[in-house]
Amino acid sequence: MQSVVSGLMQGFKAAFAGDGTDWDFIPYDMYMYGGGGIGGWASLCGIPNGAAALLNLIGLHGALGSDMMGEYSGSEWPRAELADIYHNADPNYGPTSAGYSGIWSQAKTPIPDDEVLAHTISYSPICHVSISKWCYEAGVDLADTSPYGFGHKSDRCGKVAAGIAAYTAELINHWAINGASADPYSIRADTADCKVCHTTGSTVHGPAANGKMDCTECHMPNTYHTLGDFFIDDVWTEDGSGNLKTSFSPGDPIVYKVRFAILGAGSFFVRTIPDQTGEIIKTTSGVWKKAYNNSETCMSTVTTWSWSSTVPSNATQKGKFVVNLQVADTPTGPLLIERGREVYFSVS
């Protein structure tokens, strides 16, 4: 984090030296906290955290912060620019240049890009994701050292820091003249697809979701919103006060309940098969039938439905509560599974 802030800050401090701006009062080390994703948690990578902190100092975190985050998350890292500056002996910025020879004499030698062990896209601003993905692709652990005497991981992260700092500088420069971003970020299409249902303001089709991070980096992609199984866990009858009851008298209140479970990922549309869920009770004038219909988009968990009724005044002997349910991906989607179950109760 601190390297990114310092790299950008030193440019401002040098540019405005002697102008009496408040850059003179900002200490370099005020952003040490973000290294390692804060306190070793590997949460938000210190690189975008640092760039955003610097953007905040100049009031552009809202205008450019998202674009910078997108560059970090969606680009293949590390890039060749820094190593090329060194190994191609760039005349203006390389190790033999007048202005930077002293700098390069102290800095580590960057691994040439064709010797870098992996180039990866993190699809995430999270330190843990970003580093682990690269280390896995590179086949190194966090402590592996390169022939140049600098850790492979450190070489990679240092180059990402340098690249994001330079990118942020370009964004700032463009903004200064144009008042607009040079590289507006657009949310990825598959993430946008997820957010059609997982909105910030609705839980109808699944958990409310906020943010621009790519969903499928951590969550199963939409194609795996697949039903693993669906079963009716129990059907039963109660009195009107929430107590299990199996023996009723005519005129008693009766509550029918069904508890079902969805195994899978995401949400599913559950409905009663039309007119095939309800009560069937023997009466002195024949068989009494009443259908109960319901539908609901449910998360993959346990759901209970209930219907309240009254035992007919001419009921006799017994009755039963019949449940037949169907599951589909969406209200208009094809049927996936059907399940049925029934329970008897007595009337006397």
Residues near another protein (CB under 8 A) are: 1-4, 6-8, 10-12, 15-16, 19, 21-23, 25-26, 32, 35-36, 46, 56-60, 81-82, 85, 90, 92-93, 100, 103-104, 106-108, 110, 150, 154, 157-159, 161-163, 165-170, 172-179
C-alpha distances (whole Å) from 226 to each of 109, 223, 249, 300, 336 are 50, 7, 44, 10, 10
Whose Cβ is closer to another protein: residue 3's or residue 75's? Answer: 3
Write down the least CB distance from residue 257 to another protein, Å: 23
Whose Cβ is closer to another protein: residue 51's or residue 270's? Answer: 51
Write down the least CB distance from residue 85 to another protein, Å: 7
Whose Cβ is closer to another protein: residue 303's or residue 314's? Answer: 303
Write down the least CB distance from residue 15 to another protein, Å: 4
Whose Cβ is closer to another protein: residue 69's or residue 281's? Answer: 69
Write down the least CB distance from residue 267 to another protein, Å: 19
Helix, strand, coil percentages in the chain from 3-state DSSP, rounded to 5 = 35, 25, 35
Provide the 10 A C-beta neighbour count for residue 64.
Answer: 24
E-strand spans in 160-273?
227-238, 247-248, 253-264, 267-272
E-strand spans in the chain?
76-77, 120-121, 227-238, 247-248, 253-264, 267-272, 278-283, 286-291, 295-299, 302-310, 315-328, 335-347
Whose Cβ is closer to another protein: residue 145's or residue 308's? Answer: 145
Provide the 10 A C-beta neighbour count for residue 346.
Answer: 11
Whose Cβ is closer to another protein: residue 56's or residue 304's? Answer: 56
Whose Cβ is closer to another protein: residue 150's or residue 288's? Answer: 150
For residues 23 and 13, the answer to whether their CB atoms sit within 8 Å is: yes
Write down the least CB distance from residue 122 to another protein, Å: 18
Write down the least CB distance from residue 295 to another protein, Å: 25
**CA distance linking residue 200 with residue 207, whole number of Å:** 9
Whose Cβ is closer to another protein: residue 47's or residue 298's? Answer: 47
Write down the least CB distance from residue 12 to another protein, Å: 7
As a whole number of Å, the end-to-end CA separation of the chain is 77
Question: Phi and psi for 64 in degrees, rounded to 5?
Answer: -120, -10
Whose Cβ is closer to another protein: residue 22's or residue 114's? Answer: 22
**CA distance linking residue 345 with residue 280, whole number of Å:** 10
Write down the least CB distance from residue 180 to another protein, Å: 8
Burial 8-36 (b: 16+ CB within 10 A, else e): bbeebeeeeeeeeeebeeeeeeebeebbb
- From the list 51, 83, 79, the residue with the least C-alpha distance to 67 is 51
Write down the least CB distance from residue 128 to another protein, Å: 16
Strands 253-264 and 247-248: unpaired
User: CB-based contacts of 238: which residues, under 8 Å, 6+ apart?
Assistant: 244, 245, 254, 255, 257
